[in-house]
Structure 1
Amino acid sequence: MSLCINPNCQNPDNPDNLLYCQSCGSELLLEGCYRVTRPIGKGGFARTFEVSDSGKLKILKVLTLNQPKAVSLFQQEAEVLKRLNHPGIPNAEEYFQFFPQNSQDPVHCLVMDKIDGENLHEWLEKRRNRPISEKQAILWLTQLANILHEVHQQQFFHRDIKPSNIMLTADGQLVLIDFGIAREMTETYEKKQAAGQITRFVSDGYAPLEQINGRAVPQSDFFALGRTFVHLLTGKYPLDLMAEPYGDPYTAGLNWRDEANHISSFLGDFIDHLMMRPVKDRPANTQVILQKLSEIRETLYPTKLINSNLSKTQSTAKTQTISLERTIGTWNSGHSQAVLALAISPDGQTLASGSSDKTIKVWKLNSGKIIRHLTGHVLQVNSIAISSDGQTLVSSSNDKRIKVWNLNTGKEIINSIVNSEDIISVAFCPNKPMFISGDSDGKVALWDIKTGQYIRTLATHEHRVSSLALSQQYVASGSWDGTIKVWPKSTFTGHLKRVRSVAISSNEQILVSASEDKTIIVWNLNTGEQIYTLSGHSNPVNCLAISPDGQTVVSGSDDEKIKVWDLSNGQEVYSINAHLDGVNALVFTPDGQTLVSGGKDTTIKVWRMD
């Protein structure tokens, strides 16, 4: 199906092989590349459509009101989105004017990234307006505060935050949409504001009093953010919670705390702080909000250490405990979305992290300070690895690219290596100028690190390669097909669902694998024999790390726990409530005294091994 967007077309439906509408004669291949495939919705003065650009689906926003003010705001939205660069904000690709056949009036068009998901208003209705939990509120508040930090840092403010303007994607990330009335805080704006010349745009129930008076400021976004979470935490539209049923909706208070008695006073007071009537009484900026959210998170959900009561007779190995040393990456200097990958330099001084937010950050591990930000991937960073000499970092992404970086300078060493499929995992060959990649098509490939040239394929799975582990002799790959391939040996089978992580011990005797079946299997690497099956996680196990001395394996899961296992007998030693959401990545320092974890809650935590 190919749709005509001429507003006066009597029959806009067309076969998808035509260049011109068979009803009105208008172009169907917009700008020579965008074919409109289906309508999505209508709101305000615009309609949205799904378009195909050489098979890639995007969103086309079409202005339906061709009046100077509406056109100005529409063009302003395009400009704002082009200037903002954040995974929680749609990317604006192109603004153009389309002229229907026999018409001198243009149709204003904006092409943007397609966000797969639904807005929070729709999401809440589908769950019958059941309030969200306190934990979910803290996670989402942190995500949105990080997004707003980017917006405000660029001197913009949104002016229309509400549940219907927040998208929830399939991977649990929030995206702030509809920047149609966003404004830049300029001297011109301030003069117009003082003269009462600012057009008033208000979403009843979410906007503060100063906005209805045409005097919106960045802190107006904080008020709307607070009202949004009143809605999410009560399941009720804010104006239905007015203390004075027939009062002024912009001055009457809300009786919302009684409707959200499942949350603590820490969070309730924070949300009330966001919604204070005088602007000066709200948080001064997004940094203050992020700092306070971090404090609330640590107060309400402190890291807990749970002893599994392992008796002395159960293990001959040294019993190992873990305690939290510090948390890094929780504020705007850290990642704004899930941490997916971690790597530590051979000297144990430098930590690198990759994230759903498309960035790589390099940290001083002993201080938690960021050394540099590596940007260049256009989709989430799935995997990172550091060479044995500590000079080079390789990264992989869903953008089908592998990037090779100088770790000391943060510069790309060679041009991006382009693959035909998403690159899920990368790992360096020990003491060799080569690295291995695993992609979404199931291929395990060998590459030359100096030239970026493909050398050969080592193994092929039936599904995506989720994890790689390398030693001096072996290359192990775990796959969504449920198998582990060990090159040049054989295929290990035993998991009932997708394999998410593999690790090899330093003595090359043991291989450990983790799966969506909630188990961990310990294998004899030389024979392929299953030694132990470790059970204890209540959700899929995402990541593994074997201690350098080979005595301990540590696992992280979607159940938010890190578990410590004794490899000599397969017994669970300790379990830690580590993150507010799933644990995605684990890595030991070379001395084995420190463990680092990365979570879906955007944080990186550093643990002391005692």
Structure 2
Amino acid sequence: MSLCINPGCRQPNHPDNGGSPTCIVCGSDLVLQGRYRVMRLISSDSGFGRVYEAYERNVPKILKVLKESYNTNDKVVELFRREAQVLSQLNHPGVPRIEPEGYFLYCPAGSSADSPVKLTEPLHCLIMEKIEGPNLKQWMVQQGNHPISEKQAMLWLTQLTDVLDLVHQHNYFHRDIKPENIMLRPSGQLVLVDFGAAREMTQTYMANLGDSGITTVSSAGYTPPEQEQGQAVPQSDFYALGRTLIYLMTAKLPNDTTIYNSRTNAFVWRPLAPQISAPLADLIDELIAPAAAQRPQSTAQILERLAQVRWSKTGSLGPLRQVSGLPQSVGARSIGDVAPATWPMTTLNPHEAKTLSEPSHSFLPPWLDQRPWLLAGLTGLALAVPLGWYALTRNTSNPISQVEAVENLPQRLVRSLGTLSGHEADVLDMLLLKDGQTLVTASADQTVRFWNLAEKQALRTLSEHTNTVKALAMTTDQEILITAGDDRTIRFWNMADGELLVTLSNAHTVPINALEVSNNGKTLASADSDGTIFMWNLVAPDGRIDPQHLVTAGSSHTLQADGTVNDLRFTRDDSYLVSGGKSLHVWTMDDLDQPITLTGHEPLTFINRLAISDDGRTLVTASSDKTVRLWNLADKTHHATLTGHQSYVNDLRVEGPLLWSADADQRILVWNMDQAAYVETITGFNTDIWRFAVQPNGYIVTIGGTEHTLGLWALEEQAEP
């Protein structure tokens, strides 16, 4: 379907617009600039404009259209144009890409007599790269508002300083840095967006800070005092950067009463971030100093201080990357005088880990690659908070009762057997085959890899995907592997030799998060970040399991969940399909149009993983609200809540009556599902656990953390704390 952006069109989403160059209703062009076709409205309440998703062939773009009511407001039009001007001059993975002609005017066809809007001027449009992923405000909500660790704070502060280094070198500063204006790519790169408020640093500007022509841009809690008075300077960006980091490190908004006292104007954040060392906290406090002169004066100074923080923690400073800061005297040279630069990734303080391949001799590891927005956004958020208590809530009759567990809880330790390396970005999914030795992994490095766990070596790499791969599935006979991810394709592979059998191009219009094959092997379900679920009939007309016919047959049914879907699971008898993410739905296979919605997890949190008990009677959900919940599939009711995780729960494994749940706090908890009771904690892992598998010999394989490796672990004998 194509969407008409003419505000005067009576039916902009007319079903016949899809194959037409002009709108069936109003006659306006549907192919903008001869290149871009608008597919859907993303937001109509984003400040001055509307935001759409558009496509140039198969490449998604973001289209911003200034609301027609602002066409005569010169200041608003100037801000809109400035974003295009600034972005076109910047070349950095932390800035959305825009082509020189990304800003253009669009002239809709004349409004009809009964049109709701009469246009006398063209629409101002801006087309740019679409950043796949959440902003940091959304990310914090998705992962349960869990404060980030010091290591992650240093990595993200370094990334953002790198971006500002480029912006400031081009004689601009941003003026509106806040969590909502920082997005997270699937690769882990932070992206600074919304440059509409950016201001050019020239001699004239620096000499006339009090001029009435300066626009005031304010975001409560993030805007520095001088900017509130209309006199922003480059160091104003550092203040907003520091306030943003404090939000991430404390999970408290700047106006939260636990952090800000409005009567005394006191802003006290350190007690809420005990995981942050004094040297880093000192740097953050300097960034948010009330006076601009008391803050670091350049991005180079911030990076130097970060190196000093690292030295204070490790005693080893290591070589510093040369980053030029602002010139001593900011002149009025033009943007074109600045030579383009290649912007390296900046990283800090790698983990020390035993690997089964040649160790890296680089001082700095690859960027902290974030989980596929997956709604649980995982990047080593392993806060060292001991498990001092466990609570159990169980529903035998309403209301749910709560039982406190004993303090001395049994634990078992694991010892490392090393790691398997080869992926160059986060590993996002894995499948252990029935032989217990062959493992398949999917990664943000756009590859799928096969591993022999017995020999501890890589077997094969599949490299046909063009973006992050984050979902794996397999036919029940394990002859066909199915992969999907951010390139919106579903690919089918021959397991025997790795041959690509079929590619379903544009299987979804947005990134695909989950795949699941029914237990009878006849149906594939795929789900995306928009909540769309497609059902695919794997059985060809001749009765064989053959995905080739899907190229022409397409999907057999479309379902729509409430918000993004992170996981799918068929019940043992294939009578139900369960989808979990922003919402939890149970779909009856005989009547897919009427889902049953289950509620119980905390608001504004997300379900990360689903599991079904061996007897098919119990649904298990793992959530970013730090709980595991059990549901009765017979009557679709909440049965019990298992609490005790200190961070968001990412993966589940059912093994007879036992349930294993893994979290971002480097632990696996084991439960007895029949009794809804705690059994033991498995600890000793050195990274968050995103996915895990257990081999027949009891060895555990994990993915997670920041090293892009597979962890191999052996269980020690049970030990009492």
- TM tier, smaller: 0.5 to 0.7
Do the aligned partners of 1:558 and 1:581 also contact (CA within 8 Å) in 2?
no
Give the secondary-structure state (helix, strand or coil) at the position aligned to 1:36.
strand
Q: Please tell me the residue identity of whatever aligns with 1:48.
A: V
Normalized against structure 1, the TM-score is what?
Answer: 0.53
Q: Please show how residues 476-555 of structure 1 align to structure 2 within 5 Å.
A: none
1:78 to 2:68 alignment: no
Residue deviations 1:496-549, cap 9 Å, x none? xxxxxxxxxxxxxxxxxxxxxxxxxxxxxxxxxxxxxxxxxx99xxxxxxxxxx
Give the secondary-structure state (helix, strand or coil) at the position aligned to 2:94.
coil
Do the aligned partners of 1:233 and 1:260 also contact (CA within 8 Å) in 2?
yes
Alignment match, 1:97: 105
Q: Displacement of 1:132 after TM fit? A: 1.5
Q: Please tell me the residue identity of whatever aligns with 1:167.
A: M
Q: Please tell me the residue identity of whatever aligns with 2:7.
A: P
Alignment match, 2:670: none
Do the aligned partners of 2:446 and 2:465 also contact (CA within 8 Å) in 1?
no
1:440 to 2:463 alignment: yes
Q: Please show how residues 113-512 of structure 1 align to structure 2 within 5 Å.
A: 113-241=129-257, 243-246=260-263, 252-300=265-313, 302=314, 326-327=318-319, 329=321, 335-336=344-345, 440-441=463-464
Q: Displacement of 1:188 after TM fit? A: 2.8
| Aligned CA distance change for structure 1 residues 290 and 125 (closer, same or farther; 3 Å) | same
User: C-alpha distance in 2, partners of 1:273/1:95?
Assistant: 38
User: C-alpha distance in 2, partners of 1:220/1:270?
Assistant: 15
Do the aligned partners of 2:172 and 2:199 also contact (CA within 8 Å) in 1?
yes
Do the aligned partners of 1:558 and 1:582 also contact (CA within 8 Å) in 2?
no
Do the aligned partners of 2:210 and 2:230 also contact (CA within 8 Å) in 1?
no
1:14 to 2:51 alignment: no
- Percent of matched pairs sharing the same residue: 43
Q: Which ranges of structure 2 fall in alignment gaps of 5 or more residues? A: 111-118, 325-341, 349-360, 369-422, 425-444, 449-460, 467-479, 484-492, 499-662, 665-684, 689-704, 710-721
Q: Which ranges of structure 1 fall in alignment gaps of 5 or more residues? A: 304-323, 340-349, 358-381, 384-421, 426-437, 444-460, 465-479, 486-537, 540-556, 561-579, 585-610
| Aligned CA distance change for structure 1 residues 243 and 462 (closer, same or farther; 3 Å) | closer
Do the aligned partners of 1:192 and 1:198 also contact (CA within 8 Å) in 2?
no
| Aligned CA distance change for structure 1 residues 337 and 114 (closer, same or farther; 3 Å) | farther
Q: Please tell me the residue identity of whatever aligns with 2:464.
A: D
Alignment match, 2:30: 28
Do the aligned partners of 1:47 and 1:62 also contact (CA within 8 Å) in 2?
yes
Alignment match, 1:310: none
Do the aligned partners of 1:115 and 1:167 also contact (CA within 8 Å) in 2?
yes
Alignment match, 1:604: none
Do the aligned partners of 2:64 and 2:125 also contact (CA within 8 Å) in 1?
yes
Do the aligned partners of 1:441 and 1:463 also contact (CA within 8 Å) in 2?
no
| Aligned CA distance change for structure 1 residues 325 and 206 (closer, same or farther; 3 Å) | closer
Alignment match, 1:51: 54
Do the aligned partners of 1:137 and 1:233 also contact (CA within 8 Å) in 2?
yes
Q: Displacement of 1:192 after TM fit? A: 3.8
Do the aligned partners of 1:274 and 1:283 also contact (CA within 8 Å) in 2?
yes
| Aligned CA distance change for structure 1 residues 354 and 228 (closer, same or farther; 3 Å) | closer
| Aligned CA distance change for structure 1 residues 330 and 30 (closer, same or farther; 3 Å) | same
| Aligned CA distance change for structure 1 residues 232 and 292 (closer, same or farther; 3 Å) | same
User: C-alpha distance in 2, partners of 1:106/1:291?
Assistant: 48
Alignment match, 1:569: none
Do the aligned partners of 1:294 and 1:331 also contact (CA within 8 Å) in 2?
no
Give the secondary-structure state (helix, strand or coil) at the position aligned to 1:237.
coil
Do the aligned partners of 1:58 and 1:114 also contact (CA within 8 Å) in 2?
yes
Q: Displacement of 1:201 after TM fit? A: 1.1
Residue deviations 1:116-138, cap 9 Å, x none? 00001111122332221222111
User: C-alpha distance in 2, partners of 1:202/1:104?
Assistant: 32
Question: Which structure is higher in strand share?
Answer: 1
Alignment match, 2:74: 68
Residue deviations 1:318-351, cap 9 Å, x none? xxxxxx8945659679722579xxxxxxxxxx99
Q: Displacement of 1:71 after TM fit? A: 0.8
Residue deviations 1:255-283, cap 9 Å, x none? 21122222221121111110001111100
| Aligned CA distance change for structure 1 residues 280 and 206 (closer, same or farther; 3 Å) | same
Residue deviations 1:215-264, cap 9 Å, x none? 101100000001111111111110224643246xxxx3302112222222
Cα RMSD between the aligned structures? Answer: 4.7
Q: Displacement of 1:157 after TM fit? A: 0.3
| Aligned CA distance change for structure 1 residues 442 and 61 (closer, same or farther; 3 Å) | closer
Residue deviations 1:266-316, cap 9 Å, x none? 12111111000111110010001011112213433x39xxxxxxxxxxxxx
User: C-alpha distance in 2, partners of 1:6/1:291?
Assistant: 51
User: C-alpha distance in 1, partners of 2:465/2:22?
Assistant: 41
Do the aligned partners of 1:559 and 1:582 also contact (CA within 8 Å) in 2?
no
Residue deviations 1:24-54, cap 9 Å, x none? 2211111111111111223110121110111
Q: Displacement of 1:440 after TM fit? A: 2.1
Q: Please tell me the residue identity of whatever aligns with 2:158.
A: T
Do the aligned partners of 1:12 and 1:21 also contact (CA within 8 Å) in 2?
yes
User: C-alpha distance in 1, partners of 2:148/2:362?
Assistant: 35
Do the aligned partners of 1:441 and 1:462 also contact (CA within 8 Å) in 2?
no
1:5 to 2:18 alignment: no
Normalized against structure 2, the TM-score is what?
Answer: 0.45
Count of residue pairs the alignment pairs up: 375
Q: Displacement of 1:423 after TM fit? A: 9.5
User: C-alpha distance in 2, partners of 1:182/1:210?
Assistant: 16
Do the aligned partners of 1:59 and 1:113 also contact (CA within 8 Å) in 2?
yes
| Aligned CA distance change for structure 1 residues 19 and 559 (closer, same or farther; 3 Å) | same
Q: Please tell me the residue identity of whatever aligns with 1:34.
A: Y
Do the aligned partners of 1:335 and 1:355 also contact (CA within 8 Å) in 2?
no
User: C-alpha distance in 2, partners of 1:132/1:351?
Assistant: 25
Alignment match, 1:520: none
User: C-alpha distance in 2, partners of 1:73/1:56?
Assistant: 27
| Aligned CA distance change for structure 1 residues 95 and 11 (closer, same or farther; 3 Å) | same
Q: Structure with the greater relative contact order (CA < 8 A, sep ≥ 6): 1 or 2?
A: 2
User: C-alpha distance in 1, partners of 2:58/2:296?
Assistant: 45
| Aligned CA distance change for structure 1 residues 21 and 142 (closer, same or farther; 3 Å) | same
User: C-alpha distance in 2, partners of 1:243/1:325?
Assistant: 35
Q: Displacement of 1:13 after TM fit? A: 0.4
Give the secondary-structure state (helix, strand or coil) at the position aligned to 2:40.
strand
Alignment match, 1:449: none
Q: Please tell me the residue identity of whatever aligns with 1:255.
A: V
Q: Please tell me the residue identity of whatever aligns with 2:53.
A: E
User: C-alpha distance in 1, partners of 2:367/2:282?
Assistant: 31
